[in-house]
């Protein structure tokens, strides 16, 4: 961060619903206290690809970050990058070198072999205690994410990664410089595999919390709430809104984003009713996970804050 010529750290995984494209648009929604460097603690209960954290950590002077997610595989990668990025880079280099030196047919075989090894070894992993075994698994996750179809990060009900191989001539399997920069940023972070409900008791004063939950589907064909084996339906959205209200009473600065149901149904007031006591904005964004690039049209997302936005 001290070197102005150094490229900014960015998400290390492709992420459906990632906020990289909205980073600039989000600037006007951040609380004034954050912009003036008066907020010390940053919380994300659904860290996902981490685009908002990376932007905030490099733009403002937060002292501590608390990054949480229900997906244990995702948290595993974050912790490996935080604790042992050089070893991770070594494993990724081997995967990259091997994969890119294969012809198309053997690349396909290699992809499915890595996917099979990844899924079959899950039962031997202890996700509650850091281990050197986490490092090759983190490398497999990044490799699969970078070479799978459409960069999806999706698991079935058994917790198995089930995305087929994608077609890329030269996928970016290893971005060494970015991983090092991400590791540097993560040194201020507490990273944990927890359900969002448990975060409420952890929040300290002088904090800003950003919620980016699995989005409510705006159509039957756009549903993508299974980046982990846990479903996130309207009941969970309501629970989250209730938690939002309780944290508001504790004077925590809060911001939330979600899909806008009105993209497909003008009469759908689900979020307008759920957050009617707060400030609701609509922000244009491009839908990025449709397999047909021509159908990745611009849609609105909602942003909710518990503070006025100038």
| DSSP letters for 253-306 | EEEEEEE-GGGT-TT--HHHHHTTTSEEEEEEEE----SSGGG--EEEEEEEES
CB 14 within 8 A of CB 151: yes
Does position 35 have pLDDT exceeding 80, yes or no? yes
What pLDDT is attached to residue 19?
72
Average pLDDT over residues 216-224: 57
What pLDDT is attached to residue 225?
42
What pLDDT is attached to residue 295?
52
Per-residue pLDDT band at 270 (split at 50, 70, 90):
very high
Neighbouring CB atoms inside 10 A of 189's CB total 21
Average pLDDT over residues 170-179: 97
Average pLDDT over residues 122-126: 95
Does position 146 have pLDDT exceeding 70, yes or no? yes
Average pLDDT across the chain, whole number? 90
H or E element, residue 189 = strand 189-193
DSSP, residue by residue, 7-70: PPP--SS--TT-SGGGHHHHGGGS-HHHHTT---EEEESS-TT-HHHHHHHHHS--SEEEEEES
C-alpha span between 279 and 277 (Å, rounded): 7
pLDDT tens for each residue of 183-218: 999 999 999 999 999 999 999 989 999 999 998 886
Per-residue pLDDT band at 20 (split at 50, 70, 90):
low
Does position 147 have pLDDT exceeding 50, yes or no? yes
Per-residue pLDDT band at 157 (split at 50, 70, 90):
confident
Percent over 70 (pLDDT), the chain: 89
Alpha-carbon radius of gyration of the chain: 19
What tokens appear for 162 in the block?
Answer: 């089930």
Does position 96 have pLDDT exceeding 60, yes or no? yes
Average pLDDT over residues 112-126: 97
What pLDDT is attached to residue 24?
87
What pLDDT is attached to residue 280?
97
CB 255 within 8 A of CB 32: no
What pLDDT is attached to residue 3?
46
What pLDDT is attached to residue 290?
47
C-alpha span between 204 and 32 (Å, rounded): 18
C-alpha span between 1 and 6 (Å, rounded): 7
Percent over 90 (pLDDT), the chain: 77
Average pLDDT over residues 232-248: 96
């Amino acid at each position: 961060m001290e070197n102005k010529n150094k490229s900014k750290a960015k998400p290390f995984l492709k992420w459906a619903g990632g906020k990289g494209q909205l980073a600039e648009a989000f600037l006007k929604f951040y609380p004034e206290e954050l912009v003036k460097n008066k907020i010390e603690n940053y919380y994300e209960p659904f860290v996902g690809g981490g685009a908002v954290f990376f932007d905030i950590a490099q733009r403002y002077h937060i002292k501590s970050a608390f990054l949480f997610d229900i997906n244990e595989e995702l948290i595993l990668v974050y912790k490996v990058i935080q604790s042992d990025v050089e070893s991770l880079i070594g494993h990724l280099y081997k995967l990259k070198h091997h994969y890119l030196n294969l012809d198309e047919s053997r690349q396909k075989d290699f992809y499915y072999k890595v996917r099979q090894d990844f899924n079959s070894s899950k039962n031997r992993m202890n996700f509650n205690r850091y281990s050197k075994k986490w490092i090759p698994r983190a490398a497999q996750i990044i490799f699969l994410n970078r070479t799978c179809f459409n960069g999806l990060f999706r698991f079935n009900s058994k917790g198995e990664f089930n995305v087929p191989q994608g077609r890329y001539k030269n996928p970016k399997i290893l971005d060494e410089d970015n991983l090092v920069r991400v590791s540097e940023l993560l040194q201020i972070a507490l990273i944990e595999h927890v359900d969002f409900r448990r975060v409420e008791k952890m929040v300290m004063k002088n904090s800003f919390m950003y919620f980016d939950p699995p989005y409510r589907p705006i159509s039957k064909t756009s549903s993508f709430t299974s980046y982990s084996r846990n479903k996130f339906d309207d009941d969970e959205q309501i629970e989250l809104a209730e938690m939002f209200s309780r944290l508001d009473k504790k004077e925590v600065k809060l911001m939330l984003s979600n899909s806008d149901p009105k993209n497909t149904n003008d009469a759908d007031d689900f979020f307008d009713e759920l957050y009617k006591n707060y400030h609701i904005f609509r922000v244009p964004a491009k839908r990025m996970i449709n397999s047909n690039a021509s159908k990745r049209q611009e849609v609105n997302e909602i942003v909710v804050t518990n503070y006025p936005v100038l």
